[in-house]
């Protein structure tokens, strides 16, 4: 039980540290799909008609 | 763990499988005037403090990661009910995996979400997600 609690604390500290380091980084993925953005925007607008 | 910086939102979590991998679901506004967001599922690289979409962690907990992504959709759309989310996988194989996962969940679990698939010529898929609207005119 104590070990589980310790893991939780460790994860929480690790997450906090990671978030502090990487919180303002742009997504490398978004850069890669730049060519798809016009199609994605069209698709997102079309969602209004379906929802 | 949720973080908002400007028009970008991040959900941080730990994937606990064969090893522990810090992951980040990042939602970035695609147009400053709109509620259109692009979602990326990223791995945190502790060696250089960067976010990457290239690491294949193969951590043996795909189901948990998928469920966490679905949780992020729900949480984000409850905060911003008018938001629309789009994303695509790193490869057609990943896209198919996510499509299968959605199909599996769709009937029972995803009743509150509208998920639309847009098939690309190269076999890839663009996914679109929004909250389902309730039509008040119907009894």
DSSP string over A3-30: HHHHHHHHHHHHHHHHHHHHTTPPPHHH
B27 in Cβ contact with B39 (< 8 Å): yes
What pLDDT digit, counting tens, does each position of B34-56 carry?
799 999 999 999 899 999 987 66
Task: Check if the interface score ipTM surpasses 0.90.
Answer: no
What pLDDT digit, counting tens, does each position of A7-51 carry?
666 788 888 999 899 888 889 998 899 999 999 999 999 987 776
Alpha carbon distances (Å) from A2 to A6, A7, B21: 6, 9, 22
C-alpha–C-alpha distance, residues B51 and B65, integer Å: 17
User: Which 3 state secondary structure label does DSSP give B64?
Assistant: helix
C-alpha–C-alpha distance, residues B60 and B111, integer Å: 27
Using the Cβ of B118 and the Cβ atoms of chain A, whether some distance falls under 8 Å is answered with: yes
What does DSSP say about strands B125-131 and B113-119: parallel, antiparallel, or unpaired? antiparallel
Q: Which residues of B touch A29 (CB under 8 A)?
A: 38, 40-42, 53, 90
Q: Which residues of B touch A35 (CB under 8 A)?
A: none
Using the Cβ of B88 and the Cβ atoms of chain A, whether some distance falls under 8 Å is answered with: yes
pTM (2 decimals)? Answer: 0.86
B130 pLDDT band (50/70/90 cuts)? very high
Using the Cβ of A39 and the Cβ atoms of chain B, whether some distance falls under 8 Å is answered with: yes
């Amino acid at each position: 039980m104590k070990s589980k609690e310790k893991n939780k604390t460790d994860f929480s500290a690790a997450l906090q540290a990671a978030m502090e380091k990487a919180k303002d980084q742009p997504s490398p993925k978004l850069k890669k799909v730049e060519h798809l953005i016009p199609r994605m925007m069209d698709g997102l607008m079309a969602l209004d008609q379906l929802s | 763990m949720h973080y908002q910086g400007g028009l970008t939102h991040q959900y941080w979590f730990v994937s606990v499988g064969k090893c522990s991998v810090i992951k980040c679901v990042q939602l970035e506004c695609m147009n400053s005037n709109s509620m259109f967001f692009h979602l990326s599922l990223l791995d945190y690289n502790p060696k250089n403090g960067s976010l990457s979409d290239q690491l294949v962690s193969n951590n043996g907990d795909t189901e948990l990661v998928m469920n966490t992504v679905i949780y992020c959709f729900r949480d984000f759309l409850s905060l911003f009910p008018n938001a629309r989310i789009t994303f695509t996988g790193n490869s057609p194989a990943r896209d198919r995996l996510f499509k299968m996962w959605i199909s599996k969940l769709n009937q029972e679990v995803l009743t509150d979400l509208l998920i639309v698939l847009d098939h690309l010529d190269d076999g890839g898929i663009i996914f679109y997600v929004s909250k389902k609207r309730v039509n008040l005119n119907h009894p």
